[in-house]
Chains A and B, each alone.
Chain A
């Protein structure tokens, strides 16, 4: 005997003790699919027959069942389930998760049950208990359908059980193995001409040949493609019958799929002779159908009646439903699912236009699947949180639109005319900001706090610990700029491995060796400026920036620090700075060259004192002053003692040397500190053009970056400061030596040092991604990091003991997160998807890592 059950169901095994339920469950289901009440009793009380534990056991059973059903897993309840009151909560459970309840009744002869029960070693119930259960089963058997079971399988003999095979039936909504490609077409509403034109535009060849006075359509789709209609084929428009005819024929020919819209279902009910309120264009449709044959009407009724509420395609990556579908309902079947798919998330109230008030389910949508829907006309396709409404109001004089999948491109044809007046204005018409941008203006705390796992393209999953996220929350809330600006934060950078050369901590040899070992043959060496890291966004116009970044007010751009703080406290200075940069970008012809209204630069902004003036005076200058106060006194005392023959020569030498080091130290910070009165005193050295509209420039090489940016810094404006660089062939010892000499010249002249980068922006080594950049800092500059006297051999020896592992690992994770956040933003994903990455970079920055590396 063969029976069928739906692939997603809550299966109740029903039968008295000894009916063979557990064995049945073992034979036909995975062990993990079966939840047994006896097991649950045992888990809470150590005794599977302890009736006093029944309540706790049932709690446990339903908890497990809930978790499984929420995840869309078939679940089998192995309990006697012989009383209606025992079944009722389980049926309700199935309903609340929109899965079908299935009853499999093991109605074995009572004698057999008694015999089996007696043979049990672990537990045996009195015969009266078994007889009682048997009676209860029989009394309620006929009511099973009324109780709500959609599938009831009644097995009455051991032979029937023995020969049984169960097949799992795919749900109608499940088309997960179908990946398209598709052309998903919005609400047609009887606009036949527009539909014809749209199919043409999509490359479908529609031929009409009438048979016995009735039009027939044959549609030849482009190779491999199929159409999906989101429903509302009829009403309000001029030619609903031919729209229906065309769609039916495409569906029958397998060149289209169709989900029902509320108008389609209402038409069905009218055709079936049920009482419906004739409004919203239904009367027009019924009039238009007057002339159609009885056969056509019959065919139409069968077609409409067979429509499935929604479909899940492409391994769950695409869902099509007329009015959309929240994540928990996708791939499920229930009255509620169907109502949601037809009408949306209605509150039951009416608005001032007499239309149902709908909750904006899309605003709360966080699902993996792209949901394509229609139902509510909008001026432009409305993208929000991985959902898109493609009802662009063809019948109201808007357009008929299709979404190509997987390309996600929209193809539209304008309506020939307005066939009906919309009951309320089309939403989104007058808004400057998109629905997504409006939704993005408020982010949710639960999406940044706690332990986070962020999927990145470059480094797989990056995990953020809850403590670090908590630390980032304060910085982000109190000091960072509006998250709509924060589309990128730069990673930390690791120094090269510690050099063992006398008097040095860092040297280019180690950086070259690192990249050479990783298989990189060419690196770009770039002068490292000592200023402050600055991320700069600048736009061609205020309007362009406001629109692209979804800002509440106009702005030409922004400049922020590596921790997301606004760089300039003074708005006028920021404006002047951005205007100068904007002019330079324009003069370089970049707006047209990159076909972009904005760009994102990663830069060093000098002087150091522009941002760090307080620190320079209170820490750096103060150390110099303290030393200049104390050292001469000490040296004088030593001199006097030495003059009268005391043996203090060694001490004298040490303190004399310290005086020289202090002067070198003071000279080091003075180089990077000059007064800033206005924008003329600033120098901006950009070294990455990270992004322009639609493009993340990580696909270009570092050489391209430096060459491109020198075009910008060649502009006559002194604000833009060039960065010296050179390409080094690591396989050529001579080239390496020349690069080392270049570094020595830079650092001898007081430069900070250089950054060594692999030729590709994203470089993979033999095993994994390698550092996108490594810094080699100069001997004098490092006095500002390790203190004035770090070059003393005893100090250097200890300072060489520094672990770079954490810093390097952090640099890679931050780089992956930063690029991921930016890539998502470029793809116009919801802001929270970028924000979680940026928040992640900030959180990782709270990791305890030696700040001097």
Chain B
């Protein structure tokens, strides 16, 4: 909410000429989200400090918007330094950022000793992130942390700090760095980020962003994590490195991805190599399995079911159902739940239930069992679930924790076998279980796959 900029350049009051704001005046500016106040706590020959104080209207943030629930009333926005501060910087210091000064044209190009202090800077990445972002630009960084609640010492430290930056550089550079990096630290831009935001970033980042070791993180957060925009920005920042592999972070993302791809590929292959013409994907999510089956001409009905309307919307787009093609009418997406019986799910040759049951509360498994094995009764069921024994092979996974926060349980091979056998015998299916993924001698494969076959349908 407050940014102060000080200099000890002589005469220090030249800061007023650089900022285009008179050191002896207190000024107020109206902004869409509140008011900005500009005043000078100090203005002497030896030291001059300009203060930009934001008074953000918390009630207006909630009420002035259509639909109005973007922000709660209980909100750190009035106090945190965020994209609101960036907006204020461009509104109040536009000419200074461009390096224009009628009265002191020479001074704009001259590095001068500057100290910026900002409070409160939200920094969920800890103090390390502060130094990673500012030190490569030459700043001396000082951060004063704040406890989460002084009356509750056990709650530890809050993510907010008072940040002090010292450097000798052009004022325009300081303002530009603040303009870009404050929202990057906050990581909660208050406005919609579109394609033009890429242009803006490249413009203000000119001359420093391409050489910044954290340029990817900066682009990613500045563009609100929108992957396509981030790629656009990076491609233009680093044209010569195009296509280069990004190191460790990519790796970490790719490995679990590969496991899931493997599961889907295996299940899709089993379905393709069967005689199935009516195929059900229970818990289809965003449609990754359906996508693998869309082009199989033998399948006449491909039905995806999910309990999340959001996932179904994404599946709808992924499968191109918003641009209907002739084969689209073989595909149906249904909003449904696997703990209710559902007439629409009857009469299928095969049902895939990939990484779904571990998201069902154990107390609801009997309803799930009856809804699928007794009521829907597909001829074959391909069901996968994690093998809990394999978890020791994931170094990043703390012992005793599940692979996903929403997993209600993860079964060992024995537990899965027992459950599958019991279900099969209760409902007249036979079941075979096979490992899925690389088999470890000691703990088995990461995923286990059960194939249930209706005894009557095969007889």
Tell me the smallest distance from the CB of B377 to a CB of chain A, in Å: 13
B99 at the A/B interface (Cβ < 8 Å)? no
How long is the Cα–Cα vector from A420 to B143 in the complex, in angstroms? 92
Chain B residues at the A interface, C-beta cutoff of 8 Å: 1-2, 4, 24, 26, 37, 39-43, 49, 51, 53, 55, 58-60, 63, 67, 69, 72-76, 78-81, 117, 119-120, 122, 146-152, 154-155, 158-162, 307-309, 335-343, 359, 361, 363-364, 366-367, 370-371, 374-375, 406
How long is the Cα–Cα vector from A429 to B335 in the complex, in angstroms? 40
Do A623 and B39 form a contact, CB below 8 Å, given A629-B158, A637-B4? no
A626 B337 Cβ-Cβ under 8 A? no
Other-chain residue from A481, A617, A638 in contact with B155 (beta carbon distance below 8 A): A617
For window 539-565 of A, CB contacts with B under 8 Å fall at 552
A749 at the A/B interface (Cβ < 8 Å)? no
How long is the Cα–Cα vector from A446 to B155 in the complex, in angstroms? 47
B73 A787 Cβ-Cβ under 8 A? yes
Q: Which residues of the partner chain A approach B366 to less than 8 Å between Cβ atoms?
A: 441, 552
Do A629 and B119 form a contact, CB below 8 Å, given A482-B363, A790-B59? yes
Do A624 and B1 form a contact, CB below 8 Å, given A445-B336, A477-B307, A787-B59? no
Tell me the smallest distance from the CB of B114 to a CB of chain A, in Å: 16
A670 B152 Cβ-Cβ under 8 A? yes
Do A621 and B148 form a contact, CB below 8 Å, given A474-B307, A644-B42? yes
B340 A448 Cβ-Cβ under 8 A? yes
Of all chain B residues, which has the CB nearest A469?
Answer: B335
B79 A445 Cβ-Cβ under 8 A? no
Q: Which of A144-152, A273-281, A646-654, A708-716 contacts B (4 or more CB under 8 A)?
A: A646-654
Tell me the smallest distance from the CB of A654 to a CB of chain B, in Å: 7
A619 at the A/B interface (Cβ < 8 Å)? yes
How long is the Cα–Cα vector from A670 to B151 in the complex, in angstroms? 8
B364 A482 Cβ-Cβ under 8 A? yes
Tell me the smallest distance from the CB of B333 to a CB of chain A, in Å: 13
Q: Which residues of the partner chain B approach A622 to less than 8 Å between Cβ atoms?
A: 76, 148, 158-160
Q: Which residues of the partner chain B approach A784 to less than 8 Å between Cβ atoms?
A: 74
Most interface-central of A441, A628, A790 (chain B CB within 10 A): A628
A629 B75 Cβ-Cβ under 8 A? no
How long is the Cα–Cα vector from A443 to B342 in the complex, in angstroms? 9
A583 at the A/B interface (Cβ < 8 Å)? no
Do A630 and B340 form a contact, CB below 8 Å, given A481-B363, A641-B40, A799-B59? no
4 cross-chain pairs, A with B, having the tightest CB-CB distances, nearest first: A625-B158, A629-B120, A640-B41, A787-B73
B162 A633 Cβ-Cβ under 8 A? yes
Q: Which residues of the partner chain A approach B361 to less than 8 Å between Cβ atoms?
A: 481
A629 B370 Cβ-Cβ under 8 A? no
B1 A634 Cβ-Cβ under 8 A? yes
A795 at the A/B interface (Cβ < 8 Å)? yes
A442 at the A/B interface (Cβ < 8 Å)? yes
How long is the Cα–Cα vector from A647 to B40 in the complex, in angstroms? 11
A270 at the A/B interface (Cβ < 8 Å)? no
A851 at the A/B interface (Cβ < 8 Å)? yes
A473 B155 Cβ-Cβ under 8 A? no
Q: Which residues of the partner chain B approach A296 to less than 8 Å between Cβ atoms?
A: none
Q: Which residues of the partner chain B approach A648 to less than 8 Å between Cβ atoms?
A: 26, 37, 39
A696 at the A/B interface (Cβ < 8 Å)? no
Tell me the smallest distance from the CB of B258 to a CB of chain A, in Å: 27
Of all chain A residues, which has the CB nearest B4?
Answer: A637
Other-chain residue from B37, B60, B72, B338 in contact with A477 (beta carbon distance below 8 A): B338
How long is the Cα–Cα vector from A473 to B147 in the complex, in angstroms? 41
B40 A626 Cβ-Cβ under 8 A? no
Q: Which residues of the partner chain A approach B148 to less than 8 Å between Cβ atoms?
A: 617, 621-622, 624-625
Other-chain residue from A441, A482, A625 in contact with B149 (beta carbon distance below 8 A): A625
Known: A620-B74, A648-B37, A787-B73. 20 other contacts (CB 8 A): A442-B371, A442-B375, A445-B341, A473-B336, A477-B307, A477-B337, A477-B338, A478-B406, A482-B363, A617-B155, A619-B72, A622-B160, A626-B120, A633-B117, A634-B1, A637-B4, A640-B49, A648-B39, A666-B151, A787-B74
A-B pairs with beta carbons under 8 Å apart, 17 shown: A442-B370, A444-B341, A473-B335, A474-B307, A474-B309, A482-B363, A620-B74, A626-B79, A627-B78, A629-B162, A630-B81, A630-B119, A641-B41, A644-B43, A785-B74, A787-B59, A798-B63
For window 639-687 of A, CB contacts with B under 8 Å fall at 640-641, 644, 646-648, 651, 654, 666, 670, 673, 675
